[in-house]
Amino acid sequence: GAGVSQSPSNKVTEKGKDVELRCDPISGHTALYWYRQSLGQGLEFLIYFQGNSAPDKSGLPSDRFSAERTGGSVSTLTIQRTQQEDSAVYLCASSLGFDWKETQYFGPGTRLLVL
């Protein structure tokens, strides 16, 4: 079946612009996660959704970052007023349920470059 998909695959933007990254999870997966992969910080967890709800937003790097999920499916991660330090690969993952034993399945990522 179809895996996790993300769009765009690459995004180049100018400092100060807003960007929206999209994630389409595996059908039927109720849990959705966002991570960031950068050279300096490795893989960092950002936020998760159980259904449409994000109980804990403390992993988001700053208040310029926000995320939403609608219809228990597609999620968007929005970065406002982008900065050069936001340059990274943004990964989305989904799992069947929200449980520490569940396997998370990752999408190919969106590579963001802020000039």
Partner 1 sequence: GDSVTQMEGPVTLSEEAFLTINCTYTATGYPSLFWYVQYPGEGLQLLLKATKADDKGSNKGFEATYRKETTSFHLEKGSVQVSDSAVYFCALSGRGADGLTFGKGTHLIIQP
List residues binding partner 1 (CB under 8 A): 33, 35, 42-43, 45-48, 55-56, 59, 91, 93, 100-109
- For residues 103 and 41, what is the distance between their CA atoms, to the nearest angstrom? 23
DSSP structure class, residue 86: G
User: Which of residues 51 and 55 has its CB atom nearest to partner 1 in the complex?
Assistant: 55
Backbone φ and ψ for 85, nearest 5 degrees, come out as -70, -10
| In the complex, minimum distance from the CB of residue 64 to partner 1, in angstroms, rounded to a whole number | 20
User: Which of residues 25 and 109 has its CB atom nearest to partner 1 in the complex?
Assistant: 109
| In the complex, minimum distance from the CB of residue 45 to partner 1, in angstroms, rounded to a whole number | 3
In sign, the C-alpha dihedral spanning 95, 101, 103, 106 is positive
